[in-house]
């Protein structure tokens, strides 16, 4: 991933240095277990640990000839270790090292991502609590519907991120595994206990059964979970983008001192970070198809998955880490405009109370179809005449005034009436958060 959309932690984790170090960690763990089985003499094991070094430039030089990155790596190690290197990679196949090392790095990536997600979850809940009773208009199909609160809107996002946390925890656990089962998964040269011991040293789970590779449904599930989480981020970003439009301007992403919104128009304050998050979510979704197609490998192993995973595993984890951090910053410093929220509540001149009026008429004894006709007729007149209000058009209809008093109409058009249910909604959310 390009540096623009990377975090320092993920750049380091997915560096070539970190990759070869993870490979070395696997090789050394295997040597330690062989020594415990008396297959490597203690003095030779000490030599391996003392001299096991790699040089990336030398690995690249060797690979240019052998066209095999693991062989280039082990050859580089052998040049440094000397005769004791005969014990390195003993009984292993390339993917014993590569897949297990990927398990190590994906476990670390998961820890970074879940820590960042935890911060976003906390910020979303704090935002939802702070703005619990900030009334604004709710919209369906982009059209004013009924009142909602800003806090409730963000409580929905908070709950979605809790679900994303559960999905990601499970998905990262699924890839935080190792395998040392040999060329076709039969443990022909090591044995299952050897694999268990190596994975224990690396603090990884071991795959109960594998072929030459870990099965790629694990990695596909992770990429899908990452893409779903990215979709949740996009949902937040898209909402802020809509609410930042000039004619709405109820919310606005932070605009820092010295920031410029346009090279041509000095007045512009554009939702560029939210637009960036929207675009990056699309990129995450693009990784899903190759991840799913990697599941079906030929027989006990081919390498059609390898080329895509060199891109999608670092990129997907790096992007999500960056996106989570950026979303937390945006929500934590979001600009809020309550006056605009009130203006927009009033914009349709009472139309947002049509359902409450409908139900009040039904409660008064009017048949639902007749009540709907009364309210819709008044609503259509209100849409058509910008100088009119729903209240005035209702009160001009004899069918309405025959059953509805002005006081009852006032109660039906109270924008705060729904707030009575907020505490119950928040309590339910808390129970879902802490089942």
Strand, coil or helix: what is 144?
strand
pLDDT digits (tens, 9 = 90+) for 206-232: 999 999 999 999 999 999 999 999 999
Q: Does domain 8-90 have CATH number 1.10.275.10?
A: yes
pLDDT digits (tens, 9 = 90+) for 356-403: 999 999 999 999 999 999 999 999 999 999 999 999 999 999 999 999
Write out the H or E segment, with its range, that includes residue 252: strand 251-252
Q: Please state the pTM of the whole predicted model.
A: 0.93
Q: Determine the pLDDT at residue 10.
A: 97
User: How far apart are alpha carbons 180 and 94 in whole angstroms?
Assistant: 10
Q: Which of 230, 231, 276, 319 is nearest to 14 (CA)?
A: 319
User: How far apart are alpha carbons 100 and 104 in whole angstroms?
Assistant: 6
Architecture of domain 351-412 in this structure: Orthogonal Bundle (1.10)
Residues with a known catalytic role = 141, 262
Contacts of 165 (CB under 8 A, 6+ apart): 114, 117, 118, 121
Q: Determine the pLDDT at residue 416.
A: 83
Residues in the chain, pLDDT under 70 = 434-435
User: Would you say 389 and 378 are in contact if contact means Cβ atoms under 8 Å apart?
Assistant: no
Q: Determine the pLDDT at residue 434.
A: 67
Q: Determine the pLDDT at residue 228.
A: 98
Dihedral angle of Cα 89, 95, 100, 104, to the nearest 10 degrees: 110
Q: Determine the pLDDT at residue 260.
A: 79
Q: Where are the domains of the chain?
A: 8-90, 92-253+263-342, 351-412
Q: Determine the pLDDT at residue 414.
A: 87
CATH pick for 92-253+263-342 out of 3.40.50.880, 1.10.1740.10, 1.10.150.20, 1.20.200.10 = 1.20.200.10
């Amino acid at each position: 991933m390009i540096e623009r959309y990377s975090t320092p932690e993920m750049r380091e984790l997915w560096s070539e240095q970190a990759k070869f170090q993870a490979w070395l960690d696997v090789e050394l763990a295997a040597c330690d277990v062989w020594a415990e089985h008396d297959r490597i003499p203690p003095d030779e094991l000490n030599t391996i640990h003392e001299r096991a070094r790699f040089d990336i430039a030398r690995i690249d030089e060797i690979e240019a000839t052998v066209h095999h990155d693991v062989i280039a790596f082990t050859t580089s190690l052998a040049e440094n270790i000397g005769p004791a290197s005969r014990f390195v990679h003993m009984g292993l196949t390339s993917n014993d090292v590569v897949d297990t090392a990927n398990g190590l790095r994906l476990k670390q990536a998961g820890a970074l991502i879940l820590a960042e997600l935890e911060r976003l979850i906390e910020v979303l809940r704090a935002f939802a609590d702070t703005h619990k009773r900030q009334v604004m208009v709710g919209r369906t199909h982009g059209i004013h519907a009924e009142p909602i609160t800003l806090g409730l809107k963000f409580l929905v996002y908070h709950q979605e991120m809790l679900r994303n946390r559960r999905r990601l925890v499970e998905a990262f656990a699924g890839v935080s595994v190792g395998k040392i089962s040999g060329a076709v998964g039969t443990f022909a040269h090591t044995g299952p206990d050897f694999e268990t011991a190596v994975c224990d040293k690396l603090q990884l789970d071991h795959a109960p059964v594998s072929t030459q590779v870990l099965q790629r449904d694990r990695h596909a599930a992770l990429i899908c979970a990452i893409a779903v989480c990215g979709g949740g981020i996009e949902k937040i970003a898209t909402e802020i983008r809509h609410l930042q439009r000039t004619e709405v301007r109820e919310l606005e992403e932070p605009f820092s001192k010295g920031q410029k919104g346009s090279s041509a128009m000095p007045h512009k304050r554009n939702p560029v970070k939210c637009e960036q998050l929207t675009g990056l979510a699309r990129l995450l979704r693009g990784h899903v198809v190759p991840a799913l197609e990697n599941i079906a490998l030929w027989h006990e192993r081919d390498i059609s998955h390898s080329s895509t995973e060199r891109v999608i595993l670092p990129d997907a984890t790096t992007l999500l880490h960056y996106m989570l951090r950026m979303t937390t910053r945006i929500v934590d410093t979001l600009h809020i405009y309550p006056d605009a929220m009130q203006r927009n509540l009033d914009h349709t001149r009472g139309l947002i109370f049509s359902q409450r009026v409908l139900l009040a008429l039904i409660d008064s004894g009017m048949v639902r179809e007749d009540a709907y006709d009364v309210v819709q007729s008044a609503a259509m007149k209100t849409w058509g005449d910008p100088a009119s209000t729903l209240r005035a058009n209702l009160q001009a209809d004899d069918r309405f005034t025959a059953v509805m008093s002005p006081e009852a109409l006032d109660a039906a058009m109270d924008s705060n009436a729904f707030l009575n249910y907020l505490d119950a909604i928040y309590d339910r959310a808390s129970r879902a958060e802490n089942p």
